Amino acid sequence: MNFFTRSGAPEATKTITVDGTTLPVKMRRNARARRLIMRLNKAATEVTVTLPPGAGEADALRFAHEHAGWIAKRLTERPASVPFAPGALVPVRDERHVITHRPGARGTVWMEESEAGPPLLCVAGDEAHLARRTRDWLKREARSELRARCAYYGQTMGLTYKRVDLRDQTTRWGSCSSSGVLSFSWRLILAPVHVLDYVAAHEVAHLQEMNHGPRFWKLVEDALPTMNRSRQWLKKNGTNLHVYGAGG
């Protein structure tokens, strides 16, 4: 996954339906592009078509339809979605938990050990609100973890930032704005803790180096010598984090 948006601002969003699945088609103009380029994000939930000078919406949509077979193949390869529902297995800091509905209990969401099997992620209240409560709880956990890690790496690197935001984006795990706002995908809470460390260190380092040059990577590695382990984990497993919470 990329940490930065590609050149060219988004201009329009249409849709394409392939084998019964409707996907948004985002169009981006790029003055340096020499031809139409189509990409499907790693979660296979969104198509992006890059338009060279002179190409229009109709060209982009026609190009997407001409490559519908390729899109269909990618759709068959994507992992099955895991809604937040009773009985679902959901990782929290890379440890699988069983979502367990506790309608008569007070509170919202909490973790419990089980006598046999994986630990439990207990959700109180009406089942109609279970998915939302689970997602909100995971976001709170992610915010707490990432704020702590950004504070640590900010102090380690001697850098300051404005605030930490959470989003649910499919193309980036994190980003750093020129104004000092650090943004992260809440889904990082599903990954091992060393991955949260890496993404936090990565974005804090961008406060000084807004690029991916040698000085940037040295800054990250000096703060986190084990960064390559986390980079490899994300490359291998990151796509799977997007299957959780479908329809939630």
Distance CA 10, CA 50 (A): 9
Strand 163-167's sheet: what is its strand order?
163-167, 181-185, 174-176
Please report which helix (H) or strand (E) contains residue 109, including its range: strand 109-112
19 and 110 share one domain: no
Place of tokens 């994300």: 234
**Residue 3 located in a structural domain:** no
- The number of helices, as runs of H, and strands, as runs of E, in the chain is 6, 11
* The pLDDT value given to residue 12: 57
Closest by CA to 102, choosing from 89, 112, 92, 93, is 112
* The pLDDT value given to residue 41: 79
* The pLDDT value given to residue 118: 95
113 phi and psi angles, rounded to 5 deg: -80, 150
104 and 72 share one domain: no
Please report which helix (H) or strand (E) contains residue 133, including its range: helix 130-157
Query: Between helices 130-157 and 193-205, what is the axis angle to 10°?
Result: 50
| Domain edge (last residue) among 77, 97, 120 | 77
* The pLDDT value given to residue 1: 32
Please report which helix (H) or strand (E) contains residue 27, including its range: strand 21-29
| Domain edge (last residue) among 42, 77, 112 | 77
**Residue 83 located in a structural domain:** no
CA angle 173-179-180, nearest 5°? 55
142 and 189 share one domain: yes
Place of tokens 């679902």: 88
The pLDDT tens digits along the chain (248 residues) read 333 333 334 445 688 999 888 888 989 999 999 999 999 877 778 899 999 999 998 999 999 999 999 999 888 877 788 999 999 999 999 999 999 999 988 889 999 999 889 999 999 999 999 999 999 999 999 999 999 999 999 999 999 999 999 988 777 899 999 999 999 999 999 999 999 999 999 999 999 999 999 999 999 999 999 999 999 999 999 988 988 996 44
| Domain edge (last residue) among 77, 101, 131 | 77
Q: Map residue 80 onto helix, strand or coil.
A: coil
**Counted domains in the chain:** 2
Question: Which domain range does residue 49 map to?
Answer: 10-77
Cβ-based burial of 150 (10 A; exposed 0-12, middle 13-18, buried ≥19):
buried
**Residue 234 located in a structural domain:** yes
**Residue 248 located in a structural domain:** no
114 and 33 share one domain: no
Structure letter (DSSP) for residue 51: E
* The pLDDT value given to residue 81: 85
CATH number of the domain within which 124 lies: 3.30.2010.10
The answer to whether the CB of 223 falls within 8 A of the CB of 157 is: yes
* Contacts for 198-202: CB closer than 8 Å, 24+ residues apart: 198/224, 198/227, 198/230, 198/231, 198/234, 199/146, 199/173, 199/174, 199/230, 199/234, 200/146, 200/149, 200/150, 200/152, 200/153, 200/174, 201/149, 201/153, 201/227, 202/3, 202/174, 202/227
* The pLDDT value given to residue 4: 31
